[in-house]
């Protein structure tokens, strides 16, 4: 991809009732294709949340896919077209379902509080 492209993005976390709650959104000009762009946004957000995340892994998917089966996401980052209507790529932060409850007592991460101030 050459040049610069304007994308909208949305970062959401799981609320108490398992619904997605928007934590941040915006529009920016980027020089990469959608999947590398959403990965970059996700990695920056992870870095900004140091000490607040309980672990997990990052999964990046294309425009037509949701989180993989067997994966329990706690954060969703969506990259949308400029108008914010058409999804282009998504990234999820979460854990594999088989890792949700193990013998060591690890449980699904609780919903994250996002500092909005």
Classify each residue of 60-78 as buried b or exposed e, where b means 16 or more C-beta atoms within 10 Å of its C-beta.
bbeeeeebeeebbbbbbbb
Residue 74 lies in a domain: yes
Number of structural domains in the chain: 1
75 close to 92: Cβ distance less than 8 angstroms = yes
CA dihedral 84, 28, 31, 77 (to 10 degrees): -60
Residue 109 lies in a domain: no
Tell me the pLDDT tens digit for each residue of 76-93: 999 999 888 899 999 999
Per the confidence metrics, is the pTM higher than 0.85? no
Q: Which domain holds residue 44?
A: 5-99
Residue 84 lies in a domain: yes
Tell me the C-alpha distance between 8 and 78, whole Å: 8
**% pLDDT > 70, the chain:** 81
């Amino acid at each position: 991809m050459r040049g610069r492209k304007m994308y909208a993005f949305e970062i959401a976390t799981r609320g108490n009732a398992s619904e997605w709650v928007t934590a941040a959104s915006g529009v920016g000009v980027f020089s990469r294709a959608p999947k590398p762009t959403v990965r970059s946004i996700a990695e920056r957000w992870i870095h900004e949340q140091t000490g607040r995340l309980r672990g997990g892994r990052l999964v990046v998917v294309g425009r037509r896919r949701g989180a993989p089966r067997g994966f329990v996401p706690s954060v969703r980052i969506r990259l949308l077209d400029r108008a914010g209507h058409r999804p282009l790529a998504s990234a999820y932060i979460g854990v594999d379902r088989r890792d949700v409850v193990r013998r060591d007592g690890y449980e699904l991460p609780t919903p994250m509080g996002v500092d909005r101030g």
